[in-house]
């Protein structure tokens, strides 16, 4: 048995994954409403085909052969890592009965379509039976996967390898102890910036132009992707050379689409930066969703909401939206950095964002461990939002229906956002040490110097390393929330005090 046979077989699976991604993209962007139910069956069939290939006797033979000690030790680093990732996935999904997996995929496709309707109507009861079905499957899968300490660990593994609920609780405890008092100080003692300058009527075509301008400045390759509109912004890759971005435009707030575009652009730069040598290989992917989020949050916040960036980009903004010509770049910079407890996660500020993630993590962990029922989700959500952010939730659309993730069965994903914030600050601290003039480069419009640093240090490796190992390789130390806290303290103290 040759390693080429292993790669050829996995290439065939990767082609089906690309087709599935294209169907998923279409369902969330261009698909007419009447096609929803039938298209869900198409998605289910593709998912079942991939499942069958990934759990076939042929795959079992590859896993058995290439994990023989005498064979495995002869493999090079890249081959060994590919075998490791395939083996891990094989052992994980082969534990699930094929019919269950196909039904789960169909349930998620249907669930996402109904979620969109339920959100538009702010009607949780419409979505409830679909979410109950999805959660039911996930609870079954957890038992098939197995776990050591906490059922939630089995779901975390899909998004953040080697991370456990115990690890997260420890990270959250340290972060919360410093973050909550700082937020209270900002809101009780600080001078909040004037955000009225951000309101107005913003033409959609002009917003689209602004989004393309910022993506171009970031170094996004439009020949290898595109940008479209959707309800909930996302980025999706369809094989090498096709990484697509979506955003959502609001007529009364141009910053929402701008920052979601930069966020998704960060994801896309990661996908576009993976080594071409890894094409069709299992490692042609990100190290984890947390590392992926670190790249998107870097561009959205550490760059996009920074003073150097607006020294460069503010004139471009004024060209497209002349109403800002009577506003200074400093006023604009402060306005986009308001920190205030808010209802919507994707529109929350850098300082309070992690509290939104803590709410979701605690609810997910409780659901999977049977301490909360799906029917009780709105009440649990509203109580935690009040406890963590001091906010009363007015309706389901602004509450637990605001995110798409649960409708797609992605319980375990949300902690990646918080980890992404922490990773991002630690990576960026290192980048500024290694590029001493990074701020001035950004202020002069040379954003690609950061992209190239990310590409060399992070992107090109794809999934060659686990996230913990990659973080140490790049920054020299394990995850430390102090980098995030030092960053927000320095930045927001200057704005507020």
Distance of CA 460 to the CA centre of its chain: 19
Query: pTM of this prediction?
Result: 0.92
List the domains of the chain with CATH numbers: 3-146 (no CATH), 165-496 (1.10.1370.30)
pLDDT of 154-196, one tens digit each? 999 999 998 999 999 999 999 999 999 999 999 899 999 999 9
Buried b / exposed e over 235-258, threshold 16 CB at 10 Å, is: bbbbbbebbbbbbebeeeebbbbb
* Residue 266 near residue 295, CB atoms below 8 Å: yes
Task: Provide the β-strand partners of residue 229.
Answer: 247
**Residues known to be catalytic:** 264
pLDDT of 91-118, one tens digit each? 998 999 988 988 998 999 899 889 999 9
Sheet with 235-237, side-by-side order of all strands: 227-229, 243-247, 235-237
pLDDT of 201-255, one tens digit each? 999 999 999 999 999 999 999 999 999 999 889 999 998 899 999 999 999 999 9
CA distance 345 to 424: 18
pLDDT of 369-387, one tens digit each? 999 999 999 999 999 999 9
Q: Quick one: pLDDT at residue 98?
A: 85
Please, which residues have CB within 8 angstroms of residue 74's CB and are 6 or more apart in sequence?
none
445: left (phi over 0), alpha (psi -120 to 50) or beta: left
Q: Is the pLDDT of residue 36 over 90?
A: no
Q: Is the pLDDT of residue 346 over 90?
A: no
Residue for token pair 């419409």 = 126
pLDDT of 420-431, one tens digit each? 999 999 999 999
61 HSE (CA, 13 A, CB side): 10
Q: Quick one: pLDDT at residue 384?
A: 95
The pair of structure tokens assigned to 188 is 């009780």
Other C-beta atoms closer than 10 Å to the C-beta of 95 total: 13
Beta strand pairing status for 243-247 and 227-229?
Answer: parallel
Q: Quick one: pLDDT at residue 457?
A: 98
């Amino acid at each position: 048995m040759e390693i080429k046979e292993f790669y050829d077989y996995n290439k065939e699976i990767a082609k089906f994954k690309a087709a599935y991604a294209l169907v998923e993209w279409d369902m969330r962007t261009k698909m007419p409403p009447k096609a929803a139910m039938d298209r869900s069956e198409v998605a289910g069939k593709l998912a079942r085909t991939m499942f069958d290939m990934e759990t076939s006797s042929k795959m079992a033979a590859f896993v058995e052969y290439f994990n023989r000690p005498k064979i495995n030790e002869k493999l090079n680093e890249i081959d060994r890592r590919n075998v490791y990732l395939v083996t891990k996935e094989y052992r994980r999904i082969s534990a699930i009965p094929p019919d269950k997996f196909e039904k789960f995929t169909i349930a998620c496709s249907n669930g996402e379509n109904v979620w969109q309707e339920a959100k538009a109507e702010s009607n949780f009861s419409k979505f409830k039976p679909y979410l109950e079905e999805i959660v039911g499957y996930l609870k079954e899968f957890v038992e098939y996967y197995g776990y050591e300490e906490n059922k939630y660990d089995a779901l975390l593994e899909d998004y953040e390898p080697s991370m456990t609920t115990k690890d997260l609780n420890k990270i959250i405890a340290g972060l919360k102890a410093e973050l909550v008092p700082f937020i209270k100080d900002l809101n009780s003692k600080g001078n909040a910036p004037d955000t009225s300058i951000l309101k107005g009527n913003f033409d959609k075509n002009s917003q689209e132009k602004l989004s393309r301008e910022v993506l171009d400045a970031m170094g996004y390759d439009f020949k290898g992707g595109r940008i479209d509109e959707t309800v909930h912004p996302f980025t999706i890759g369809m094989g090498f050379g096709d990484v697509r971005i979506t955003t959502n435009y609001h007529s009364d707030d141009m910053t929402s689409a701008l920052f979601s575009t930069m966020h998704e652009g960060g994801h896309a730069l990661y996908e576009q930066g993976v080594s071409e040598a890894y094409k069709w290989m299992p490692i042609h992917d990100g190290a984890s969703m947390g590392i992926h989020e670190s790249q998107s949050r870097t561009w959205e916040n550490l760059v996009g909401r920074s003073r150097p960036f607006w020294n460069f980009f503010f004139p471009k903004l004024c060209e497209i939206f002349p109403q800002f010509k009577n506003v200074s770049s400093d006023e604009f910079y402060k306005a986009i950095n308001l920190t205030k407890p808010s209802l919507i996660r994707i529109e929350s500020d850098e300082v309070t964002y992690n509290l939104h993630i803590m709410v979701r993590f605690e609810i997910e962990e409780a659901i999977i461990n049977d301490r909360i029922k799906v029917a009780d989700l709105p009440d649990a959500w509203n109580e935690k939002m009040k406890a963590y952010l001091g906010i009363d939730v007015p309706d389901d659309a602004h509450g637990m229906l605001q995110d798409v993730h649960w409708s797609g069965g992605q319980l375990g994903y949300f902690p990646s956002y918080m980890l992404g914030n922490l990773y991002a600050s630690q990576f960026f601290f290192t980048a500024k040490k290694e590029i001493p003039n990074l701020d001035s480069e950004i202020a002069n419009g040379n954003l690609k110097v950061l992209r190239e640093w990310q590409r060399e240090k992070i992107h090109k490796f794809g999934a060659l390393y686990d996230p913990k190992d990659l973080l140490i390789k790049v920054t020299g130390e394990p995850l430390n929330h102090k980098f995030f806290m030092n960053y927000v303290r320095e930045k927001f103290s200057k704005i507020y005090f």
